[in-house]
């Protein structure tokens, strides 16, 4: 077990990250989850990396070639944190009360700052998370503004 009181733990928490809502479809079913460890990892081809905890319900859906959407949350859009932060089982309606464009790759949140449509290329084991590498296939800035930035007090938990 890692010592959460270690001197370096608060420093690790100061690695700033954005706030994202990842949406994915599996047949007729669809869901969304709050994510914070998403970043660009390649220019050519355009790719992102996303760390996902193996215990997340949507983990099994994000296999090679699966399309999904990264909805980028803007400053002041804390309603998305409240809504998606509680988490959803795969059989729950994750989008009740949320305006969406229901695309084949996954729902696009109409009020999000921007979105990226992606396709999983590979998953790499990374401790208690997997690192998902995905190619960006489309996207759009939906409104002007800055992304929501998240800084944790301790780098050993969300």
- Cβ atoms within 10 Å, residue 5: 9
- pLDDT value at residue 68: 97
pLDDT tier, 3 (very low <50, low <70, confident <90, very high otherwise): confident
- pLDDT value at residue 148: 97
CATH code, domain carrying 129: 2.30.110.10
User: Domain for residue 68, yes or no?
Assistant: yes
Three-state SS at 83: helix
User: Domain for residue 2, yes or no?
Assistant: no
- pLDDT value at residue 156: 82
Burial call 89-100: b when 16+ CB within 10 Å, e when fewer = eeeeebbeebeb
pLDDT tier, 45 (very low <50, low <70, confident <90, very high otherwise): very high
Domain that includes residue 23, residue range: 9-98+108-150
CA 13 → CA 1, 73, 121, distances in Å?
Answer: 18, 20, 28
What total number of domains does the chain contain? 1
Q: CB of 136 within 8 A of CB of 118?
A: yes
**pTM over cut 0.85:** yes
Express each pLDDT in 112-156 by its tens digit. 999 999 999 999 999 999 999 999 999 999 999 999 999 988 888
């Amino acid at each position: 077990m890692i010592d959460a009181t270690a001197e370096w733990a608060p420093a690790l928490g100061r690695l700033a990250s954005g706030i994202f809502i990842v949406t994915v479809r599996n047949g007729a079913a669809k869901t969304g989850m709050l994510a914070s460890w998403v970043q660009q990892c390649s220019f050519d081809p355009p790719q992102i990396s996303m760390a996902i905890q193996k215990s997340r319900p949507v983990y099994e859906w994000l296999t090679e070639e699966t399309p999904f959407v990264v909805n980028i949350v803007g400053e002041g859009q804390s309603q998305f944190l409240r809504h998606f932060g509680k988490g959803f089982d795969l059989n729950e309606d994750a989008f009740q009360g949320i305006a969406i464009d229901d695309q084949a790759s996954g729902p696009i949140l109409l009020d999000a700052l921007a979105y990226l449509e992606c396709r999983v290329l590979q998953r790499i084991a990374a401790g208690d998370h997997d690192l998902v590498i995905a190619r960006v296939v489309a996207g759009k800035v939906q409104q002007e503004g800055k992304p929501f930035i998240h800084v944790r007090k301790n780098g050993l938990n969300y």
